[in-house]
Amino acid sequence: MTEVRAAVIIGSGSVSFEMMRYLTEVLPVMITPKWVRTRCQPIAIADILEILVASLDGHDGSDHVWEVGGPEQLTYEEMMRIYAEEAGLPRRLIIPVPVLSPQLSRHWIGLVTPLPTGVAKPLVNSLRNEVTVRDNSVAEELTGGLIPFRDAVRRALRPSTDADIATRWTDAATSPAEARPSDPDWAGGTLKTDVQRVRSSASPRDLYWAFARIGGDVGYYTFDWAWKLRGMIDKAVGGVGLRRGRRHPEELGSGEALDFWRVSAVEPGRRLQLWAEMKLPGSAWLEFEARPDGDGAELSQTAYFLPRGLLGRLYWLVLIPFHVLIFKRMAHRIATTAEQRQLR
């Protein structure tokens, strides 16, 4: 039997990495226990997988205990600062104090992160101990070159900037550092969604025609004045605004500009996904899908938002009342437009 021991594994789904992710993103100022100055040796999840595969391929029947780590020894404070840089967040102010007990730390983590208290408790208790590797030759030999911490974080964050959000959150992951469908809900960052579903007597093709006309001269089916105001605000803060319009009144191709959106995915007759290029404290997508449903079809309309930092979360909360008014009505108007076309 071969036992592989590692301190902090960098990748979505790793409890220690997810704790660091949420603390760093939610809190611009952190008053922390002394454990933020504890040193450890974080290792990329891709390296861990290479080591595990190599241990199986070269198993000689003997028992082994391998302590492995990445190429750097870092404190938790240093790791959080690097994470903030890679996530595009302002510099975090981290103030260690000697008075925060482990019990208080557990409650604090439970308050500002979605990690279960039962998971946070043993993790916080372990953070008081320095975990570094005396002899890292096994990891270096089996991986052929360990991934630096900054690069490991960048790989873990890469899915957050992918245009095809549906692939990121619903399909099988394409990288070891990405969250997988079987991971807990808190793995991979917090994705905010607004989902509207409308049953329509129109065909999927007519539904697609209706939502593929969005933007440009047609507008957004409801509260056009609000969309125009959002475009003016975006332009005022250095964004693209609504001035780009669209290339064709009905046809769309992948990668095309559409007002302050970019077409990130399109399946003619079925699905359209738009990525927001407006100035936002995070990343946003708007997706439409026409699904056959008996003699008609169902329109699935989903707004996704991946907040960046505390400002991103506040932005989503402020917009919830507007989403309730706008997105629900927009979905119904799209379905009605498709039905009217079908009757012609």
CATH value at residue 38: 3.40.50.720
Same domain, 151 and 226: no
Average of per-residue pLDDT across 100-128: 70
Per-residue pLDDT band for 173 (boundaries 50, 70, 90) equals: very low
285's tokens: 């997508």
**Percent with pLDDT over 70 in the chain:** 85
What is the rounded CA–CA span in Å between residue 6 and residue 48? 8
Is the residue at 78 inside a domain? yes
What's the confidence (pLDDT) of residue 162?
45
- 3-class DSSP assignment, residue 264: strand
Angle ∠(154,148,14) on CA atoms, nearest 5? 60
Same domain, 220 and 137: no
Per-residue pLDDT band for 172 (boundaries 50, 70, 90) equals: very low
Same domain, 260 and 155: no
* Per-residue pLDDT reduced to its tens digit, 212-265: 999 999 999 999 999 999 999 999 988 888 888 888 988 999 999 999 999 999
What's the confidence (pLDDT) of residue 168?
40
Residue numbers of the domain that contains 98? 2-163
Same domain, 49 and 7: yes
Is the residue at 179 inside a domain? no
* Per-residue pLDDT reduced to its tens digit, 31-45: 887 778 889 999 999
Q: Strand 43-44 and strand 9-10: pairing?
A: parallel
What's the confidence (pLDDT) of residue 163?
42
Is the residue at 207 inside a domain? yes
Residue among 198, 218, 220 at smallest CA distance from 290: 198
User: Residue 49 contacts by C-beta under 8 Å, 6 or more apart in sequence?
Assistant: 176
Please answer whether residues 249 and 213 qualify as being in contact, where contact means their C-beta atoms are separated by less than 8 angstroms: yes
What's the confidence (pLDDT) of residue 189?
65
Which residue has tokens 């990445």?
70
Lowest mean pLDDT among 50-54, 107-111, 148-152, 160-164: 160-164
- Dihedral-angle region of residue 64 (phi above 0 means left; psi in -120 to 50 means alpha; beta otherwise): beta
Same domain, 155 and 17: yes
Average of per-residue pLDDT across 291-296: 91
What's the confidence (pLDDT) of residue 169?
39
Is the residue at 322 inside a domain? yes
- 3-class DSSP assignment, residue 122: helix
Is the residue at 275 inside a domain? yes
Residue with the larger pLDDT of the pair 61 and 197 = 197
Please answer whether residues 33 and 123 qualify as being in contact, where contact means their C-beta atoms are separated by less than 8 angstroms: no
What is the rounded CA–CA span in Å between residue 126 and residue 106? 12
Per-residue pLDDT band for 161 (boundaries 50, 70, 90) equals: very low
What's the confidence (pLDDT) of residue 80?
93
The total of structural domains in the chain comes to 2
Same domain, 245 and 290: yes
Q: Is the pLDDT of residue 8 over 80?
A: yes
Same domain, 159 and 236: no
Type and span of the H or E element at 104: helix 102-112
Per-residue pLDDT band for 187 (boundaries 50, 70, 90) equals: low
Lowest mean pLDDT among 124-128, 160-164, 192-196, 268-272: 160-164
* Domain termination residue (choose one: 111, 146, 163): 163
Q: Is the pLDDT of residue 184 over 70?
A: no
What's the confidence (pLDDT) of residue 212?
95
Q: Is the pLDDT of residue 287 over 50?
A: yes
Per-residue pLDDT band for 128 (boundaries 50, 70, 90) equals: confident
Same domain, 216 and 335: yes
Same domain, 140 and 208: no
CATH of the domain at 255: 3.30.530.20
Same domain, 142 and 249: no
What's the confidence (pLDDT) of residue 19?
86
Is the residue at 174 inside a domain? no
pTM (predicted TM-score): 0.70
What's the confidence (pLDDT) of residue 101?
61
CA distances from 67 to 39, 84, 124, 134, 206 (A): 15, 28, 21, 8, 60
Average of per-residue pLDDT across 181-209: 81
Furthest C-alpha separation in the chain? 76
Rg of the chain over CA atoms, in angstroms? 24
Same domain, 141 and 61: yes
Residue with the larger pLDDT of the pair 19 and 344 = 19
Give one DSSP letter per residue of 292-344, joined into a string.
EETTEEEEEEEEEEEE-HHHHHHHHHHHHHHHHHHHHHHHHHHHHHHHHHHH-
Q: How many helices (H) and strands (E) does the chain have?
A: 11, 14
Q: Is the pLDDT of residue 1 over 80?
A: no
What's the confidence (pLDDT) of residue 221?
94
Average of per-residue pLDDT across 316-341: 92
Same domain, 279 and 157: no
Q: Is the pLDDT of residue 165 over 70?
A: no
Is the residue at 48 inside a domain? yes
Average of per-residue pLDDT across 61-71: 81
- What average pLDDT does the chain have? 83
User: Residue 249 contacts by C-beta under 8 Å, 6 or more apart in sequence?
Assistant: 213, 216, 217, 218
Is the residue at 170 inside a domain? no
Per-residue burial over 109-139, b = 16 or more CB atoms within 10 Å of its CB, e = otherwise: bbeebebeeebbbebbeebeeebebeebebb
Q: Is the pLDDT of residue 313 over 90?
A: no
